Amino acid sequence: MDDWRDDALCRGFPQAWWFPEQGGQFRTALWICAACPSREPCLQFALDEKIVHGVWGGLTEAGRRSHRRKMAGRGRPEGKQPRPADEHQVI
């Protein structure tokens, strides 16, 4: 079975590097992720599984949140972007 984990460049490096909350060297992790052939499926896995911690697919937790917001915005029909006030409107 073809699994993106088989080509993961992070294999062989200390796992803690991908977890800044564990004192990881996430800048090194991001650098390694940038060259990883499994970057896309890795990121998709983290998004699908709603993984909160660590660096996945070259994005930190904050980076994945931003990516999710961007992707959610793309799903809206053209010209139907909500104004900030609309999002908090009580019906």
Residues of the shown chain interacting with ligand SF4 in the complex, contacts defined by CB under 6 A: 8-10, 18, 32-33, 36, 38-39, 42, 55-58
Residue whose CB is less far from ligand SF4, 34 or 71:
34
Residue whose CB is less far from ligand SF4, 2 or 78:
2
Beta carbon of residue 65, minimum distance to ligand SF4 (angstroms, whole number): 17
Cα 37 to Cα 9, 43, 55, distances in angstroms: 8, 12, 15
- Residue 39's contacts (CB-CB under 8 Å, 6 or more residues apart) are 33, 57, 58
Beta carbon of residue 66, minimum distance to ligand SF4 (angstroms, whole number): 17
According to DSSP, the residues that pair with 56 across neighbouring strands are 59
Distance CA 71, CA 10 (A): 26
Query: Are the C-beta atoms of residues 68 and 47 closer than 8 Å to each other?
Result: yes
Residue whose CB is less far from ligand SF4, 22 or 73:
22
Beta carbon of residue 68, minimum distance to ligand SF4 (angstroms, whole number): 17
